[in-house]
Structure 1
């Protein structure tokens, strides 16, 4: 692995030096993702254990927790990828599932809309930086499309009378918004609160991912129509 992959990254208030346990709260709080995955897996088993798209989300959530733990302990370039890539996989996987399971789109239209969302997500930071240069929200801009997607799909579910899924997605959007605010102010509060607020990003996002997985599991199609 090239030496650049080991370049230290100091991105959060809690980290004051490069050692493995320099971010104990940020590191340990990743247990929230593992707990969310465990609870969702139990629910998945109780619901028959044959909903493979939902099981994929459970697996990805587990990897999210592991990857985030690696980043908040090793805190370098390779562990940053271990952190952000699983999150992206979850976001795009869930968006595709939502298109199919909640909005009832056929496979090709669902893939097309998901592709458009990926392009929109990839371009968000560039557009934001051109409109609001220097206002980076502590690296949180890239998560804004996820909030917008939850709001849009949640509202669409309410319109088409899938109120259970709609309310759950809107609740997840609200929690994620609070979580984003806390992530964004981590550096700002550092002088008064040396532990920072990133830990709450982990705890609240663990709840968000559980809500999303629970909604997917509870709104699974009948067993005969579950993709194999």
Structure 2
């Protein structure tokens, strides 16, 4: 398959046309809105990482828009790469700022996400019906691990991370149900993955922002 060959991965898509996934395409505006809202909340000193995360959140919306309008392998890469970049940046920020690790330690932990994913994705792939969502399943697990590590040291942050993991699990559920829902819901449920993911990613930035605000108070 070539990089520009059409891809039909979601219930709503019925052909190679630009507007074959209107709901899936338009709900990417949720990422854009979430990024702009968070950018407005990340003012003041010490918020550089948060502003970078908000910028990547904006790019996630653009990449996903391109994939759900020009559905091919190339735009699929544009869809998933910003998500991976967001994950890696957040792992670094969480390790450095929540756990208090030195930047070089946080960088090593961040690099460790790749072998962690390589080990856990095949395990999640064994879960019946999870399908391609197995590629994302290690993320809420990792967030819950951080929440567990922080439950005594930073209980407010731990609760915030647990909420984020819960929203992501719900979001992944709708992503997983997309193909199975075609018979009863022609537009599928993938659009709910977009909306809930936008909320979740903005919330994760907000959890980080609150911690930085408290630390500098």
Contact 1:138 1:187 in 2 (8 A): no
Contact 1:53 1:97 in 2 (8 A): yes
Stretch deviating more after TM superposition (59-68 or 211-220): 211-220
Question: How far apart, in 2, do the equivalents of 1:114 and 1:146 lie?
Answer: 13
RMSD value, Cα: 1.8
Question: How far apart, in 1, do the equivalents of 2:178 and 2:37 lie?
Answer: 29
- Equivalent in the alignment of 2:64: 68
Instruction: Determine whether 1:207 maps to 2:207.
Output: no
Structure 2 segments unaligned to the other structure (5+ residues): none
Q: 2:114 aligns with which of 108, 113, 118?
A: 118
Q: Which runs of 4+ in 1 moved over 4 A?
A: none
* Deviations 1:42-90 (CA, angstroms, capped at 9, x unpaired): 1012xx1542111110110000000000000000011000000000000
What SS does the corresponding residue of 2:136 show, helix, strand or coil? helix
Instruction: Determine whether 1:198 maps to 2:196.
Output: no
- Equivalent in the alignment of 1:180: 172
TM-score (norm 1): 0.89
Per-residue deviation, 1:127: 3.8
Question: How far apart, in 2, do the equivalents of 1:128 and 1:61 lie?
Answer: 26
- Equivalent in the alignment of 1:105: 101
What SS does the corresponding residue of 2:42 show, helix, strand or coil? helix
What SS does the corresponding residue of 1:140 show, helix, strand or coil? helix
TM-score (norm 2): 0.93
What SS does the corresponding residue of 2:18 show, helix, strand or coil? coil
- Equivalent in the alignment of 2:209: 217
- Report the count of equivalent residues: 216
- Equivalent in the alignment of 1:35: 33
Question: How far apart, in 1, do the equivalents of 2:80 and 2:129 lie?
Answer: 17
- Equivalent in the alignment of 2:76: 80
Stretch deviating more after TM superposition (59-68 or 106-115): 106-115
Question: How far apart, in 1, do the equivalents of 2:2 and 2:56 lie?
Answer: 27
Instruction: Determine whether 1:9 maps to 2:43.
Output: no
